Amino acid sequence: MVSPFLDKKHGSERIIVEWLSHLSDEFEIHVYSQQVEDFDRTKFTWHRIPKLPGPHLLNFLWWVAANRLWRDWDQRFRRLRHNLVFSSGANCLDADVICVHIIFAKYVRQVRSEMNFARNLTWEWPRLLHRKLYYRISVFMEDRAYKNRATALVVNSRKTVGELKQFFGRADHIPVLHVGLDHDVFNTATRAKLREPARSALAIPQNQFVLILVGNDWRNKGVPVLLNALAGLRDRPIRLLIVTGEDLSACRRLVTKKALDDRVFFLPPRKDIEFYYAAADAYVGPSLQDSYGIPPAEAMACGLPVIVSSAAGVSEIVTNGVDGMILDDPKDATKLATMIQRLYEAQEFRDRLGVKAAETARQYTWERNGRDLSAIFEEIVRRKAQADMQTLTQESVESKLRKGR
């Protein structure tokens, strides 16, 4: 397993931790990573790669080279032969299998206007330049990795399959594993039990209708369009909770610019994220680009009505108007405001969506993901073994022919 870091605080990394935790016991797992948290250490061997201090871009470039050097060293001097190399995203160019979480080639197009130097203040230029360089390298890595037909790809949504075909010409069969959930944690009974304590702890007035959004990369998660929608609903007692661990200085300035400081509240991540879901009345996630999106699915399992973007893979498990609402255009603030207003005003509709959402979410489990991924890995290992045998046979035949001459 090759990934810069693994934990359960970030969506993509959490998926990988859960998948590896539920793999068949027949697999011996070696993790090459700079940081590992929230992962049972008895299930894998960690090959720790040092983290380079400084800007994220420099550490990423170091990581790309270092993870290959570490693996080559182990193979040559420790005789550690990996039957299969699995990567989270395009983190290495020699992976046998890559789980594709985001298509940077598409995302960069969507945020192109925000990357314009002329539209940004001088003191933001260093950060903007850093983003542009990082995105450019990420797109290059994607192009090299995803166009390689020898690399198998696994995705979380059919949407990503279409994007891989559009941007990289991948027309082969790509398995889709809709992300699982821990239903012992995320369920309607837990939400009902925690609701009053959660709202009390967060000082939420009884009459306020609470929306929640969870995740990092606030621009990509659709916070700007969500703020525009809230600005059009000032006469309603609606509060937005944004749960994130990233630097929010730019986002806070936007909130102030929209005069929404008394409506928008930022909360730090916590392991018992279900506590925040219990305080909310609905989940809103107008993502610009999301291969899947775990938080909306968790909210569904808790019985919350959800509004998700059609650009998010999680929309594939939602039936619009039945167990959730789908925003066709993630940049349409007017339509989003209308959907939020309907949830606020129509309690019967809101409750019906929540009940159906919980029923839908129960179909998706980490155990199911583990079984599916084990089968994918077993098939790839089998094919590699056959190819190796054919190569050995061919070499043997050629050797005999040379001796015969």
Mind listing the pLDDT tens digit for each residue in 102-123? 888 887 776 676 666 555 555 4
User: 96 — alpha (psi -120 to 50), left (phi > 0) or beta?
Assistant: alpha
291 and 142 in contact (C-beta within 8 Å)?
no
pLDDT reported for residue 390: 76
Lowest mean pLDDT among 35-44, 125-134, 282-291, 304-313: 125-134
Could you report the per-residue pLDDT of 56-78, keeping only the tens digit for each?
A: 889 999 999 999 999 999 999 99
pLDDT reported for residue 121: 53
Mean pLDDT (whole number) for 364-384: 95
**pLDDT tier at 126, thresholds 50, 70, 90:** confident
Mean pLDDT (whole number) for 122-130: 70
pLDDT reported for residue 405: 58
Tokens representing 201 are 């702890």
Give the pTM: 0.82
Could you report the per-residue pLDDT of 150-170, keeping only the tens digit for each?
A: 999 999 999 999 999 999 999
Taking 70 as the threshold, does the pLDDT of residue 262 lie above it? Answer: yes
pLDDT reported for residue 140: 92
pLDDT reported for residue 257: 95
Taking 90 as the threshold, does the pLDDT of residue 394 lie above it? Answer: no
Could you report the per-residue pLDDT of 317-332, keeping only the tens digit for each?
A: 999 999 999 999 999 9
Nearest of 333, 308, 327, 304 to residue 229 by alpha carbon:
333
Q: Is 184 helix (H, G, I), strand (E, B) or coil?
A: coil
**pLDDT tier at 300, thresholds 50, 70, 90:** very high
The CATH code that applies to domain 188-361 is 3.40.50.2000
User: 113 — alpha (psi -120 to 50), left (phi > 0) or beta?
Assistant: alpha
pLDDT reported for residue 225: 97
Residue-averaged pLDDT of the chain: 91
Domain boundaries, the chain: 5-180+366-399, 188-361
φ/ψ of 292, rounded to 5, equals: -145, -95
**pLDDT tier at 128, thresholds 50, 70, 90:** confident
Q: Where are the alpha helices (DSSP H) in 188-248?
A: 188-201, 223-231
Q: Which CATH architecture has domain 5-180+366-399?
A: 3-Layer(aba) Sandwich (3.40)
Q: List all residues 6 or more positions away from 33 whose beta carbon is below 8 Å from its beta carbon.
A: 1, 2, 3, 4, 5, 6, 46, 47, 48, 49
Quote the percentage of the chain above a pLDDT of 70.
93
Q: List all residues 6 or more positions away from 63 whose beta carbon is below 8 Å from its beta carbon.
A: 4, 34, 49, 52, 91
**Intrachain domains 5-180+366-399 and 188-361 with the same fold:** yes
Burial of residue 256 (number of CB atoms within 10 Å: 0-12, 13-18, 19+): exposed
298 and 321 in contact (C-beta within 8 Å)?
no
Taking 60 as the threshold, does the pLDDT of residue 205 lie above it? Answer: yes
pLDDT reported for residue 289: 84
Q: What is the DSSP string of 322-386?
A: TTBEEESSTT-HHHHHHHHHHHHH-HHHHHHHHHHHHHHHTT-BHHHHHHHHHHHHHHHHHHHHH
Could you report the per-residue pLDDT of 4-48, keeping only the tens digit for each?
A: 999 988 888 999 999 999 999 999 999 999 999 999 999 999 999
Taking 80 as the threshold, does the pLDDT of residue 215 lie above it? Answer: yes
